């Protein structure tokens, strides 16, 4: 990896963690509004943002989640799986906005993994927990679509990292 790519990923990870700290009280329960999840959309612009997102999720879960190793396994695992699915499916979708819509759907559906985690830890009802987690993810990532698209028009995410 080149310095430019490492630096860009370090900044993404740091921003994810900083935003995670700000919203920690509403980011880890059955109803989640984890604002830094909008960074998941960076994968649409360049798959090399993968490591910055994953490190951000890992560090945020490590230091701010009360769920301990569960959140490191399930939370990071859900992010890895969702990002890889989006990378794979994005090859078939040319429009940036539609790739972000696809990414939002993938992350929303895979919140079943987080719901399963919460069922294990808190013995919550699975489908209700999936619904509440999925709604939070859908709202945050849905808001992230126009926001990240607009930011990209100004800073050009793809140029901030090697191709």
What is the structure's pLDDT at 32? 82
* C-beta atoms surrounding 22 within 10 Å: 12
As its CATH architecture, domain 3-27+34-158 has Orthogonal Bundle (1.10)
Q: Using only C-alpha atoms, what is the Rg of the chain?
A: 15
The predicted-structure confidence for 116-152, as pLDDT tens digits, reads as follows: 999 999 999 999 999 999 999 999 999 999 999 999 9
Q: What is the pTM of this model?
A: 0.95
Question: Which pLDDT tens digit goes with each residue over 8-40?
Answer: 999 999 999 999 998 877 777 777 889 999 999
């Amino acid at each position: 990896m080149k310095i430019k790519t490492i630096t860009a990923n370090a900044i993404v990870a740091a921003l994810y963690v900083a935003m995670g700290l700000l919203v920690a009280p509403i980011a880890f329960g059955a109803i989640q509004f984890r604002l830094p999840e909008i960074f998941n959309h960076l994968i649409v612009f360049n798959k090399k943002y993968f490591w910055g997102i994953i490190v951000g999720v890992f560090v945020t879960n490590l230091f701010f989640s009360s769920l301990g190793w569960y959140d490191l396994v399930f939370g990071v695992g859900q992010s890895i799986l969702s990002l890889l699915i989006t990378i794979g499916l994005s090859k078939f979708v040319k429009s940036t906005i539609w790739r972000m819509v696809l990414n939002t759907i993938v992350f929303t559906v895979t919140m079943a993994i987080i719901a399963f985690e919460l069922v294990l830890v808190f013995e919550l009802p699975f489908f209700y927990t999936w619904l509440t987690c999925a709604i939070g993810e859908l709202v945050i990532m849905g808001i992230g679509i126009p926001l990240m698209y607009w930011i990209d028009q100004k800073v050009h995410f793809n140029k901030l990292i090697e191709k």
